[in-house]
Structure 1
Amino acid sequence: MSDTRRRPRHVGAKLLLLILVCYFLVPVWWLVVASTKNAEGLFAGDGALWFSGFHLADNLRHLITINNGEYLRWLGNSLLYASAGGIGCTIVSVLAGYGFAKFDFRGRNIVFAMVLGSVMVPLTALVIPTFVMMSNAGLTDTIWAVILPSLLSPFAVYLMRVYAAASVPDELLDAARIDGAGELRTFVRVALPLMRPGVVTVLLLSVVSTWNNYFLPLTMLSSSKLYPLTVGLGLWTQLASSNNGGGESLWNLIITGSLVSIVPLVIAFLTLQKYWQSGLAAGSVK
């Protein structure tokens, strides 16, 4: 009797899950299909969700050659910002989170409360003050205007603090200190391997956040040579909307460029998935 009652509930849950999967995958499917069409096929109005001619190779060739390889320059900038900002943010967050979790110093709770409270502040609200700071330091319209603000993430510090407290036993650290290991060696040889899933999780989230950042580089940069993909594709969208620089012929390049821009993120997720999943599940059974 109980199995009979549970069966409709399971069917409903699976049906809801299927609907949600379709809801999230349909835009991705449309992006893939639209990237294979030329300008005429893109605006034909029929078969929007299915292939009608395969021009992906032509679109990619045009994409990497337009304006003397402008798209490739933007792609390289995005890779630079995401790697430098993501790795730097991970290092800062790991060190800060470990310090908050394993060291007892005066004002620790107050400082951590300030860090935790800053999570509630929208990032867009900090862009203008950050711009003023960078302008006073003479760093606007440079790569540092994008990289330096990306190094700080209150949420990543909070995540690493919680993860370090849950995954690194104090008894293990005390044993390493009794054996004569210094604080740096204890952190590198004992704590850091135990924190690896959390470190990879923060790295992945930081890279994705920096890669998808639009408002910060839009505000900080004025030279198109320093634009990341987000701002560069936005510039093309403005040109296409105003019918300057190609009109319809530019839209299929924007769509193809959007498809290419998500490939590095997909590769990163697939590569680091096992570490990411284990990092999210840490402490769930304690």
Structure 2
Amino acid sequence: MTAATVAPAPPRERAGTREPGTPGRRGIALLPTAALVLGAVYCIVPTLWILIAATKSPAHLFSTATYVPSLDDGLVRNIRELSAYHGGIFWRWMFNSFLYAFVGGVLASAVSAATGYALAKYEFAGRTALFNVILAGVLLPQIVLAIPQYLLLSHAGLNDSYLGVILPQLFNPYGIYLCRIYAAAAVEDSLLEAGRIDGAGEFRLFRSVGLRLMTPGLITVFLLQFIVIWNNFLLPFVMVADDSKFPLTVGLYSMLRHGAAEASLYSLVITGTLLSVLPVIALFLSLQRYWRIDLVTGAVR
């Protein structure tokens, strides 16, 4: 008589262990999503507050619920009063910010492109050491450089001038780093050798080949530098004394200081802060389609 075959009992599940797909694993997988949601809320809530507060008149700003917008014409009235403040100086500040950011962004992108291209495509003594020194500039905080820059530009007679704000922004270590990396990846040495065989000079190679292939990277450098200059407060605050040359950051700060004695200016400062964000959003949306990491597209062109 044969003994019946008995199937072995399944091994006991160890205490504290779960199979993949169990609620414990799913909970751990949801942690990054929850962190992203919290980060998004942290960024959106202040912007939402500014958007709602800009719709309120000075009388309603502190007397109504924080996140309940005003349904009257508070926003239109605030914009009208802001435009009339000191003869419309707010729009002068807006123009100054655009001038500083656009001119400084274009020139800084050109300097970064030339420097990054040279570091990536030419062999010369001290190239690595020079690149390391440029990278060290990323670690220097702006507050350390503000006073030396002010003293140097004052000695040159450029304090309280537009050039005094634009010139220190032309050297962008992070932009040079990005351009070097992008030039090394996008600009093929074979294309440059073919151009040299055809008799093209180095400047023509940089202008006709290098800049064309580096265009997506340069747009990124320009946008980053534009935002940095647009939001810069310390340098123009130290360098400029004439309020007609203030950018928006310094101009709104001066309004906020006067608002300590005149509470009605708080609504104008909030409205000005809302308006100051709109050009950056428009620029970001208009340049977003150029943000691509498609090196083949650049090479074909």
- 16, 39, 57: which one pairs with 1:38? 57
In structure 2, C-alpha distance between the alignment counterparts of 1:63 and 1:52, rounded to whole Å: 18
Taking a change above 3 Å as real, the CA distance of residues 278 and 39 of structure 1, as seen in their structure-2 partners, is farther
What TM-score, normalized by structure 2, do the two folds share?
0.86
Name which of 255, 268, 271 aligns with 1:253.
268
Which segments of 5 or more consecutive residues in structure 2 lack a partner in the other structure? 1-18, 295-301
Correspondence 1:87 to 2:106: yes
CA distance in 2, matches of 1:13, 1:161: 33
Deviation at 1:3, TM superposition (A): 4.3
2:70 to 41, 47, 52: 52
User: 2:243 maps to which residue?
Assistant: 224
Report how far residue 41 of structure 1 moved. 1.0
The separation in 2 between residues aligned to 1:265 and 1:276, in whole angstroms, is: 16
Q: Provide, for residues 26-63 of structure 1, a one-character-per-residue CA deviation record: whole Å limited to 9, x for no partner.
A: 1000000000000011111x320121333111111111
- 1:215 to 2:230 alignment: no
Of 3-12 and 247-256, deviating more is 3-12
CA displacement at 1:277 relative to structure 2: 5.6
After superposition, what is the alpha-carbon deviation per residue over 1:247-275, rounded to whole angstroms, capped at 9, x for unaligned? Answer: 22100000000000011111111112233
Distance in 2 between residues matched to 1:34 and 1:195, nearest whole Å: 42
2:34 to 4, 9, 15: 15
1:4 positional shift: 4.6
Distance in 1 (CA, whole Å) between partners of 2:66 and 2:291 is 35
The answer as to 2:281 corresponding to 1:266 is yes
The alignment's TM-score, normalised by the length of structure 1, stands at: 0.91
> Which moves more between the two structures, 119-128 or 187-196?
187-196
Match of 1:202 in 2: 221
Distance 1:3 1:170 in 2: 50
The 2-side partners of 1:274 and 1:183 are apart by 31
Residue 183 (structure 1) aligns with? 202
Q: Distance in 2 between matches of 1:141 and 1:208?
A: 22
Q: 1:196 corresponds to which letter in structure 2?
A: T
Query: 2:8 aligns to what?
Result: none
How far apart, in 2, do the equivalents of 1:214 and 1:39 lie? Answer: 26
Q: Which amino acid aligns with 2:283?
A: A
Residue 10 of structure 1 deviates from its aligned partner by 4.1
Counterpart of 1:125 in structure 2 is 144
Query: What amino acid maps onto 2:290 in structure 1?
Result: Y
- Given the alignment, which residue of 128, 133, 151 partners 1:114? 133
Deviations 1:115-145, CA, capped at 9 Å, x for gaps: 1122211111111011111111111111111
For residues 263 and 277 of structure 1, what CA distance do their matches in structure 2 show?
24
Q: Which amino acid aligns with 2:237?
A: L
In 1, Cα distance between equivalents of 2:155 and 2:211 = 37
Which range is displaced more, 250-259 or 107-116?
Answer: 107-116
User: For the residues of structure 1 that align with 2:35 and 2:119, how far apart are their CA atoms?
Assistant: 41
Q: 1:38 to 1:277 in 2, by over 3 A?
A: farther
Give runs of aligned pairs for residues 63-78 of structure 1, distance below 5 A. 63-78=82-97
Matched, 1:104 2:123: yes
Question: 1:67-123 CA distances to partner (integer Å, 9 max, x unpaired)?
Answer: 100101111111111111111101111001101110112222222222112221111
Aligned position for 2:3? none
User: In structure 1, which of residues 146, 150, 156 is the aligned counterpart of residue 165 of structure 2?
Assistant: 146
Corresponding letter in the other structure for 1:26? V
Q: Are 1:155 and 2:174 counterparts?
A: yes
Seq. identity, %: 41
| Separation in structure 1 between the aligned mates of residue 142 and residue 291 of structure 2, nearest angstrom | 24
* Runs of 5+ consecutive residues of structure 1 not aligned to the other structure: 280-286
- In structure 1, C-alpha distance between the alignment counterparts of 2:95 and 2:264, rounded to whole Å: 24
